[in-house]
Chain A
Amino acid sequence: MRRLLIRSLTVAVAVLLGVYLFIFGRGYTLILDNNAVDLGGTRYPAPAAAEIVVDRRGGIEIFARERDTISLKGPFHRVELRVMDRGGKVLSTVSRNFTLTGSPTHELLVAPLAAGAAGFIREFSDEPLLSAPVPAGSPGEGPVPVPVPAGSPGEGPVPAPAPAGAGGPSPGGTGP
C-alpha cells in the first residue's frame, strides 16, 4: 500500500511538473504591429511613434506603419507602451497585462493599446486590420500622432466606415 502511494505520488508530481513545463516553457512570437486597426466597429489610428517594453526588457521603438517581432516565453506578460511624437517626446504611457495561449504567433496591435482598448492581442492571422481602405489624410495614416485621452471629443478612435458585408476583424486574443 505504501509502495503504491509513493509510486502514485511520483507519477502525479511528474505529470504536474510536465504540465508546468509545458505551459510556462512555451515560446511565442509576438508581432508588434503599429498600423491603424478597426476593432469592434471603431477605427484606432496608429501613433506616429511608440516605444514598447515587454516584461521590462529593452524597449523597441516602432513608427507608424511599421512591424517588428519579439520572442516571449510563457503565457503571462506585461506590456508598457510609450506613445511618442516623431521627435521622441513621450505623450502618454499605457501599461497592460496580457495572456498568450494557443497559436505560437500572436499580434500586439499598438493602435488599440495606445487607446486603452481591449483586444490589442490577437492570434496571428492574415485578415486585414482595416475593414475598408483608409481615405487619404485620415488620422491613422497621417504623420501626426493621435494621443487618445479618454472621452475627449473630436479626437481618438473614430468609427470605422462599414462596407457592405464586412464585419471587421474579430478582436480575438485575451484582454488585460
Chain B
Amino acid sequence: MKNPRFTRAGAAAFLMDNAVPLLFVLISAVAIPFSGFSAVYLIQELLVRLARNSFLVLALLVPIMAGMGLNFGMTLGAMAGEIGLLFVINHHITGVHGVALAMLLSVPLSALVGWLTGIVLNKAKGREMVTSFILAFFANGIYQLMVLYGMGSIIPVGNPALVLSRGYGIRNAVNLVEIRQALDNLILVRLGPFSIPLVTVLVITGMCLFILLFRRTKLGQDMRAVGGDMAIAEAAGIDVERTRTLSIVISTVLAGIGMIVYLQNVGTLNTYNSHEQVGMFSIAALLVGGASVSRAGIANVFLGVCLFHLMFIISPTAGKNLIGSAMLGEYFRVFISYGVISVALVLYALRRQRGRAGASPGETAGGGES
C-alpha cells in the first residue's frame, strides 16, 4: 500500500518541478476555446514554429551541460548567421545553395565570436548569464556599427536591394525572397491536412542525435563534470577553461546555423533586431519547457517551443474575443510569458540558496549565477 504522505510529497515535488509548463498548459487550455482556432490550424502552426525555432533552442543545451547557464551570448551567433545571409543575398545565391553557403560562412564567424565570448565568460565564473547578456549588447553595438556604416563603404555591397539609398548601410528590413523556405520546401510532405517540412525536421533530428551522442563523448563527459563541480573536474585533470570555452563555441556556432534556419522560414531579415528577439525567445521557450539554469534536456526544448509559441498563436485572438482588443491579448501574453519566466528563475535561485544552506561549507555548485 502506498504511503499517502509520500504521494502528497511526490505530487508537491512534481508540481514544484513542473510549475512553469503546468501553468502554461493551464493558461493555454483556458485561452484556446476563446481563440476559436481549430485543432488542425493550431497543430499546423505549431509544426511550422517547431521547425523554425527548435534548432535555436537546442543550441542552448551545451552550455547548460557545462554549467554555464543560459547562453545569452547566442545572440552573437545569430549575428554571424545574419552576416552570412547578407553575403548570400548580396551575391544573389538562391535556394538551398544560398542557405548552405550562409551556414558555411557563419561557422567561422560564430566560432570566432564564441571563442572570444568563452574567454570573457571564463573571467566571470559564476556570473556567466549576466555577463553574456551584457556582452550581447556590446556585440550588438559593434554589429550595428559594421552593418550601418561599414557595409557599402568599407565592405563592398553591390545589391541595391540591400544598401540604403545614401550608398552605405544595410536597409532595416531585407527581403529574403531568394532563399525563402528553401530548406522547408525542399521536401514538403503532406500528411492529411498537415504540411511537414521534412528536410528541416531531419536537420533538427540530426541536431538532437548530435546532442545525445555528444554527451557520451570525452568532451561531453568533461562538460558534465565541469557543470557538476569545477573544482573536482579540475582535480580530475580536466582543462576546465578550455572545456567551458568549447561549450560556448559549439553553442554559438549552432545558434548561427539556427538563425539561418529560422530566417529562411520567416523570409524577412530584420537587420538590426532579429537577433535580439531570437535570443530572448529561445531562452524563454526553454524555460517554459521546464528547464532550469542548470538542467535542460531535449524534451524541455520541444515542450517549451510548443507551449511558448502556442501562446503567441492564441493570445491575440483570445484577447480580442475576450476583451475586445487583440493588443490587450498580446500584452497579456507578454505579461504572463515573461512573468512566468521570471518566476522560473526566482524559483531556481531559491532552490539553489536552500541547497547551499543545506550543503556543507566546503561544497560548491558549479555554474550559473543565482
The chain A residues found within 8 Å of chain B, CB to CB, are 14, 17-18, 21-22, 24-28, 71, 73, 104
The yes or no answer to B242 lying at the interface (CB within 8 A) is no
- Interface residue stretch chosen among B90-98, B273-281, B301-309, B322-330: B90-98
Contact with A along B89-117 (1 / 0, CB 8 A): 00111111110110011010000000000
CB closest chain-B residue, reference A71: B94
CB closest chain-A residue, reference B104: A18
B97 touches A25 (CB 8 A): yes
A21 touches B95 (CB 8 A): no
Q: What 5 additional pairs, Cβ within 8 angstroms, besides A18-B101, A25-B97?
A: A17-B104, A25-B94, A26-B91, A73-B94, A73-B95
How far does the Cβ of A140 sit from chain B's closest Cβ, in whole Å? 33
CB closest chain-A residue, reference B87: A22
Among A14, A17, A18, A26, the residue within 8 A (CB) of B94 is A26
Give Cα distance in the complex from A96 to B28, angstroms. Answer: 61
The chain B residues found within 8 Å of chain A, CB to CB, are 91-98, 100-101, 104-105, 107, 178
Closest 8 CB pairs of A and B: A25-B97, A27-B94, A21-B101, A25-B93, A27-B92, A104-B92, A21-B97, A18-B104
Give Cα distance in the complex from A122 to B92, angstroms. Answer: 18
B178 touches A27 (CB 8 A): yes
How far does the Cβ of B348 sit from chain A's closest Cβ, in whole Å? 39
A21 touches B104 (CB 8 A): yes
Query: Which of A17, A21, A25, A28 has its CB near the most chain B CB atoms (within 10 A)?
Result: A25
B93 touches A14 (CB 8 A): no
By a CB distance below 8 angstroms, the chain A residues around B100 are 17, 21, 25
Give Cα distance in the complex from A25 to B91, angstroms. Answer: 10
CB closest chain-B residue, reference A73: B94
Prevailing SS type, chain B contact patch: helix
How far does the Cβ of A11 sit from chain B's closest Cβ, in whole Å? 9
A21 touches B92 (CB 8 A): no
Give Cα distance in the complex from A26 to B178, angstroms. Answer: 10
How far does the Cβ of A26 sit from chain B's closest Cβ, in whole Å? 6
How far does the Cβ of B96 sit from chain A's closest Cβ, in whole Å? 8
B97 touches A73 (CB 8 A): yes
Sampled A-B contacts (13; CB under 8 Å): A14-B104, A14-B107, A21-B98, A21-B101, A22-B93, A24-B97, A25-B97, A25-B100, A26-B91, A26-B92, A27-B178, A28-B92, A73-B95
By a CB distance below 8 angstroms, the chain A residues around B91 are 22, 26
By a CB distance below 8 angstroms, the chain B residues around A22 are 91, 93, 101
By a CB distance below 8 angstroms, the chain B residues around A14 are 104, 107
Give Cα distance in the complex from A73 to B97, angstroms. Answer: 10
By a CB distance below 8 angstroms, the chain B residues around A71 are 94
How far does the Cβ of A95 sit from chain B's closest Cβ, in whole Å? 25
CB closest chain-B residue, reference A72: B94
CB closest chain-B residue, reference A14: B104
Give Cα distance in the complex from A22 to B100, angstroms. Answer: 10
By a CB distance below 8 angstroms, the chain B residues around A18 are 101, 104-105
How far does the Cβ of A55 sit from chain B's closest Cβ, in whole Å? 14
Give Cα distance in the complex from A25 to B92, angstroms. Answer: 8
Give Cα distance in the complex from A73 to B98, angstroms. Answer: 11
Give Cα distance in the complex from A21 to B97, angstroms. Answer: 5
CB closest chain-B residue, reference A104: B92
Give Cα distance in the complex from A18 to B107, angstroms. Answer: 12
B104 touches A26 (CB 8 A): no
